[in-house]
Amino acid sequence: MLNKEKEFSKVILCEYLLSMEGEDGKVKQNQMIVIEKNKIQFVGPVSNPLPKAKEVIRLNNHLVCPGLINTHTHLPMVLFRGLGDHLTLKGWLEEIIFPLEKKMINPDFIRVGTELALLELIKNGITTVCDMYFHTPVMAEVFESYGLRGLLAVDMLSSFSDWKEDLDSLCNQYGKENQRVYPAIACHAPYTCEPDLLKLSAEESEKRKIPIAIHVAETEWEVSEIKKRYGKTPVAHLKDCGVIGPHCVFVHCVHLSEDDINIMAETNTPLSYNPESNMKLSSGVAPILKALEKGIVVGMGTDGAASNNDLNLFTEMDTGAKLQKLKNPDKTIEAKDIFSMVTSSAAKVLGLSHRIGKIQTGFFADIIALDLNHPNLYPRNNLLNHLVYSASGREVDFLMCHGKVLMKDSEIQGVDEFRIYAEAELMRKTFFQ
């Protein structure tokens, strides 16, 4: 029961609410969310009188839902958007991305790229990401100033900064209860990380109690290369190196054998499904329905914007669902299961299911709202299906993270967008000089 005398921070009045509380995809009408500081205190029917609050936010003609969770990305790579779009993964990395990274990566590049990416995330309703990139403490500062939530994974292979220093700095400053930045470890892939480095990553993850994110079985080339080197599949190899389990986010998993799927299921290793990146780099179609049948937890990711080319989970849901239907014409996948891949299941992938991914009492107040007055959302036959198959992201005009409103009436609060666009333009002019 709510304390009638207490004055809460905020009450949000929702004409339509999809809380994901029961993970059943049900949209309820005339609901209210009561928030105190960064946490949700109550979710239920609107009361009369309303609870006392410093601020009442009325979201009429909106669909309110949990902030979306992007389980895999490389945010500063937004600055490489549109480069090498004709290439597949190996050529794209070796001809374009690796040489550019060698030339361009420094703290200023990371700051500008992260700022540009956060604008895009907010506008697309994303409140949490799991990121793998370089100069992670610089990224953490930008996350702090914008107010978004991020698992920021320090790259163990980075030649741009010392992984141990970066990890120590993040672990000392962040990852505590009620903070929005969580440290993590990034291993690029089984073909770039030697077994000793993978074993060391597993030890560091265990010692520091933080997750590991790694690209796994992304291409056929990777699977044959790892078989050639170690005589086993990438998943079996990672298991032998100790990089397996509920704290390891296996990204892509396009080319999994039956045994690989069984190993991931037995060890509760979650999977990050990145359909648009896998299509664009001609990598293939991940066996998501098989993984779900075996009980593997699946979340969605956009991957970096350079291989997508945007940070938009609405288009990712649409594409990811259709791709599975194309590959599995005799099976069905429901919109609620797709939507959970960007909310409640995505939270499980990142080990944060007790705090985010649902609008529920005790959870952090990470909330978005879509303006329903867009032609692609009429008639309202099924709002959940519209979210997955019709919404484009531009309908999101309200975003709250950790109890703080970061976007209202489509305006990002306290940020000069044009300053960031100008900096991004200046930066790209130096790429090929």
In angstroms, what is the minimal distance from the CB of 73 to Zn ion? 7
Which C-beta is closer to Zn ion: that of 283 or that of 324? 283
Least gap, CB of 215 to Zn ion (angstroms)? 5
Min. distance of Cβ 312 from Zn ion in angstroms? 16
Return the number of the residue (260 or 303) whose C-beta is nearest Zn ion.
303
Shortest reach from residue 14's CB to Zn ion, in Å: 35
Q: Which residues bind Zn ion (CB under 5 A)?
A: 303
Considering beta carbons, is residue 251 or 369 the nearer one to Zn ion? 251
Among residues 210 and 249, whose Cβ is nearest to Zn ion? 249
Give the shortest CB-263-to-Zn ion separation in angstroms: 21
Query: Which residues are within 8 A (CB) of 185 and not within 5 positions of it... i.e. 6 or more apart?
Result: 153, 154, 156, 167, 201, 204, 205, 210, 211, 212, 213
Strand order in the sheet with 28-36: 39-45, 28-36, 8-17, 53-66, 367-371, 396-401, 404-408, 411-412
Residue with smaller CB distance to Zn ion, 166 or 303: 303
Shortest Cβ contact with Zn ion: which residue?
303
**One-character DSSP codes across 150-208:** EEEEEETT-SSS-HHHHHHHHHHHS-STT-SEEEEEEE--TTTS-HHHHHHHHHHHHHH
| Exposure b/e, 318-347, CB count within 10 A at least 16 = b | bbbbebbeeeeeeeebebbbbbbbbbbbbb
Looking at the Cβ atoms of 283 and 343, the one nearer to Zn ion is 283
State the nearest-atom distance from the C-beta of 277 to Zn ion, in Å: 7
- Kindly list the distances between the CA atom of residue 107 and the CA atoms of 76, 113, 429, in Å, as whole numbers in the listed order: 11, 10, 17
